[in-house]
Each structure stands twice: as structure tokens, then as C-alpha cells.
Amino acid sequence: MIIIIRNRAAPEQVEQMLEEQKFYIKLAVDIERRILAGGGEMHYFCEQALLEDGSSQKNIWGAGFMPINQKISYDSLINIRPSQGNRSMEILDATIREQVAQIITELLGNV
């Protein structure tokens, strides 16, 4: 189940996002709108949910979150964008990584 989170997530929402992967939530984070979509089998599905909700592709970055230890990962196929200087699955720009981390922590951290 893909859920768009605009405000701090409720524990029930985190549980729903964990249904597919059990311990890990695949995320797409819109760094401009400061929202995220999480859950499901692939980052792509989260990305599509944000695009349908009005996000711009250039602002969406893929990440992962493990609620049990609050660990964030920055790897996703949706992050490969040579036109934006990111030629890797990992988010290479430190500023973007920090923005993604802040949004994830604000919306999902310690829920």
C-alpha cells in the first residue's frame, strides 16, 4: 500500500507502509513540497503517486527507511538522473541527502 504523508505519520500509517517489505519502507521524497510517499514493492510506485499528486520529477528522490533502528538509505533506481548530475542509484549531492533525511525524520522518525 502506497501512502502519501504530508504531516507526521500515525503509527498505523507506518504499519501499512511496512506491509510489503516488513522491516523496510521504500520511499519517494519530494524535497520541494516536503512530503513523501511510502510503501509498496518499488520506489517507482511511490514516485508515481507523488507525480499524480502534483509533484515535479526533478524534486522527487528515492530513499528507504527502517523504523526499527531509524536508519535511512539513499539508494534507488529513480535517483539515476544524469541531467541533474546524479549518475548513481545513490543520492550523491550532500544538500539533497540532508533535505531527504530531514523530511523523513520529521514525518516518520520515532513513530
* Per-residue pLDDT tens digits for 39-97: 999 999 999 999 999 999 999 999 999 999 999 999 999 999 999 999 999 999 999 99
H or E element that contains 99: helix 94-108
pLDDT for the residue numbered 97:
98
pLDDT for the residue numbered 7:
98
Q: Label residue 12 by pLDDT band (50, 70, 90).
A: very high
Mean pLDDT across 22-26: 96
pLDDT for the residue numbered 111:
74
Which of 1 and 76 is assigned the larger pLDDT? 76
DSSP 75: B
Distances (CA, A) of 31 to 6, 21, 23: 12, 24, 24
Q: Cα–Cα distance between 68 and 109 in angstroms, integer?
A: 10
Q: Which of 4, 33, 6, 19 is nearest to 107 (CA)?
A: 6
Mean pLDDT across 6-34: 97
